[in-house]
Amino acid sequence: MATLKVSSSVPSPSEDAEQLKTAFEGWGTNEDLIISILAHRSAEQRTLIRQTYHEVFGEDLLKSLDKELSSDFERAILLWTLEPGERDALLANEATKRWTSSNQVLMEVACTRTSTQLLHARQAYHARFKKSIEEDVAHHTTGDFRKLLVSLVSSYRYEGDEVNMTLAKQEAKLIHERIKDKHYSDEEVIRILSTRSKAQINATFNRYQDDHGEEILKSLEEGYGDDKFLELLRSTIQCLTRPELYFVDVLRSAINKIGTNEGALTRIVTTRAEIDLKVIGEEYQRRNSIPLEKAITKDTRGDYEKMLVALLGEDDA
Amino acid sequence: MAHTLDLEGITKAISGMGVEEGALISTLGNSHKDHRKLFRRASKSFFVEDEERAFEKCHDHFVKHLKIEFSRFTNAVVMWSMHPWERDARLVKKALKKGDEAYNLIVEVSCTRSSEDLLGARKAYHSLFDQSMEEDIASHVHGSQRKLLVGLVSAYRYEGKEVKESSAKSDAKILAEAVASSGEGAIENDEVVRILSTRSKLHLEHLYKHFNQIQGSDLLGGVSESSLINEALLCLLKPSVYFSKILNASLNKDADKGTKKWLTRVFVTRADHGDMKEIAEEYNQLYGEPLAQTIQEKIKGNYRDFLLTLLSKSN
């Protein structure tokens, strides 16, 4: 469930655009005003505001924000204001660049979005980067990582609930055999994870647990540590079956590090606020005995903190 | 009674591709039973004489042949009426069922459609078969071709005008090396699969130029031992040539049953796609005869008229 709070009657996009312009006027910036508007609008509304701002003031709202804001807060506003498909395209593109490269982010975008959302990301990628997402991912990864990631970003999974139990049994067995032999990057494993529907994958791993008395993620804990591919594989499975738990894990390590990993924190809050941040928050509290909002406010400050809190639906606006 | 039997006319009406429906009505339909006996006696490939019992038995082959030839028009109509996405989804499904020899169809569908149309076919696949196209292919194809085929159908290629020349050049070198060093294994080579299944068609056209310069040989001259790779390259770079070749093969009198069906597929899918005119021009260049003329001469009846209509619609 989403945490985004939007009131039932919002000002028109041109009123919002005017207000945002005033937030940039004069010395310093009125970040509170920016938060009070943008953090309480849906994706469609934000897109309209961005369009209107451009029509009225002749400049991309994001450029204005870029000029006026700095670092973590700006990043949060930037990601938040982008339309979800474009946001995912941006995240994916950054993840292929040398200094910001991240196989984890690529996997996350590919596996925690619906087929339609992933498709929008691929379309936005064409428009913005003049290339396909898969060609960039392929070009910037090698070996097993390439095999897995290109397949994941190219998938267009069937989204129905139909499940083939015989197939689930077969594929659970197959996966078990490969894992036993530590063939984590086996083609069949990658095939199953990157082409089967999420319903089918869930059925397969439930069957796995029934047949072998242990959860797949537990089976993959051995040999952990230095095997980066195994780590990625494990996260892939988690994203496909229990995404909220994956996000809780990432948030926990992002917040509890000495020095917060703002990148991950911003990314998760902005990409999930309209999807399932509520469920993630509940799970977070269950596992860490502290509400997510509290953990965040303990570790962040200023406008950045205010923005995150607003997206969590916990501010007073 | 009175009419003599136009034996030659009837035989001609049912030989070749399609059936001359009108001629059959006027000759066979009009024929006296003695005429038909003559016909049966003369058609040794369709009827066999049971001398003991003094009658001419019908070969299975006769019925089968008529079924196939009569149904060409039907199939063309069905295919033409279908939404292009459903058409392509069903083609891929059929190819998977047929196995190895039909995988070229998967290459054809994935490489000669626009990004949106290929995507549409994948959506239709969800709807028709409750599965994704890539998962079906991945679970049915076990050999070395799997990587390439799954890669090709999963592509959502960029279709704009921008190209990074240096990337195209380096990819050309990589492709040259990979093909030279892997021989038969080229189809599984990660770099080959990457280049063929992710790059935009424009990028590949630039790559083509560079390749030919570097290697001094034609990338489309059968560069690989793998026919699927060669086919993918031809489909991606010169679809008109590819389709002309397919048409020529289907119109050959020695073509087998499956190959003959290609004729309908090419006409129906490309008339919709919009490059039938280019294909006809290419065909003329390659084989020295206008496509329309070949169709006129070799095909019969409603089927012929339908194909010619699709062709003229495109001009």
Q: What's the CATH number of domain A13-69, 3.30.530.20, 3.40.190.10, 1.10.220.10, 1.20.1440.230? A: 1.10.220.10
Of A5-14, A142-151, A308-317, B271-280, give the lowest mean pLDDT range. A308-317
Between CA B122 and CA B126 the distance in angstroms is 7
Give the Cβ contact number of residue A287 at 10 Å: 12
B17 beta partners: B299
**Fold of the CATH domain A165-241:** Annexin V; domain 1 (1.10.220)
- Asked whether this complex has an ipTM greater than 0.95, the answer is no
Q: Can you list the residues of chain B whose pLDDT is less than 50?
A: 1-2
CB-based contact A196 B159, cutoff 8 Å: no
pTM for this predicted structure:
0.81
B47 forms bridges with which residues in the sheet?
A: B58
Does residue A222 surpass a pLDDT of 70? Answer: no
The CATH superfamily of A84-154 is Annexin (1.10.220.10)
Task: Give the per-residue pLDDT at B1.
Answer: 45
Task: Please enumerate residues of A whose Cβ is less than 8 A from a Cβ of B.
Answer: 119, 122-123, 126, 130-135, 138-139, 142-143, 146-147, 150-151, 154-160, 162, 187, 191, 194-197
The answer to whether residues B121 and B163 touch, using CB atoms and an 8 Å cutoff, is: no
Give exposure, A241-266, as e/b (b: 16+ Cβ within 10 Å): bebbbbbbebbeebbeeeebbbebbb
CATH 1.10.220.10 assigned to A243-312: yes
Residues of A in contact with B151 (CB under 8 A): 150, 154
pLDDT of residue A101: 80
CA distance A92 to A132: 11
Mean pLDDT (whole number) for A164-193:
94
In this complex, the residue of A119, A132, A143 whose CB is nearest that of residue B198 is A132
Nearest beta carbon to residue B155 from set A139, A154, A191: A154
The CATH 1.10.220.10 portion of chain A extends over 13-69, 84-154, 165-241, 243-312
Structure-block tokens of residue A62: 């994001």
Distance CA A187, CA A84 (A): 31
Question: Could you say which DSSP state residue A196 is in?
Answer: S
A14-55 residue pLDDT tens: 999 999 998 887 667 788 889 999 999 999 999 999 999 999
* Torsion angles phi and psi, residue B56, rounded to 5: -105, 120
Q: Closest approach of chain B CAs to the CA of A42, in angstroms? A: 28
| pLDDT > 80? residue A260 | no
pLDDT of residue B2: 46
Instruction: Kindly report the nearest CA distance between residue A85 and chain B, in angstroms.
Output: 15
Interchain contact, A132 vs B157, CB within 8 Å: yes
Chain A closest-CA separation from residue B158 CA (Å)? 5
Count CB atoms within 10 A of the CB of residue B159.
13
pLDDT tens-digit series, residues B175-186:
999 888 887 788
Calculate the average pLDDT of chain A: 91
Please enumerate, by residue number, every residue of A annotated as part of a binding site for Ca(2+): 24, 26, 28, 68, 255, 257, 259, 299-300, 305
pLDDT band of A258, cuts 50, 70, 90: low
Q: What was the pLDDT predicted at B84?
A: 96
Q: Kindly list the structural domains of chain B, giving each domain's residue range(s) and its CATH number in brackets, ordered by start.
A: 1-81 (1.10.220.10), 83-155 (1.10.220.10), 163-235 (1.10.220), 237-314 (1.10.220.10)
For residue B299, the 8-state DSSP code is B
User: CA B47, CA B45: separation in Å to the nearest integer?
Assistant: 6
Give the Cα separation of A237 and A204 in Å (integer).
11
pLDDT at B27: 85
- Please name the residue of chain A whose CA is at the shortest distance from the CA of residue B195: A135
What does residue B59 show for φ and ψ, rounded to 5 degrees? Answer: -75, 145
Residue type at B40?
R
The residue of B96, B115, B127, B135 whose CB has the most chain A CBs within 10 angstroms, and thus the best one to mutate to test that interface, is B135
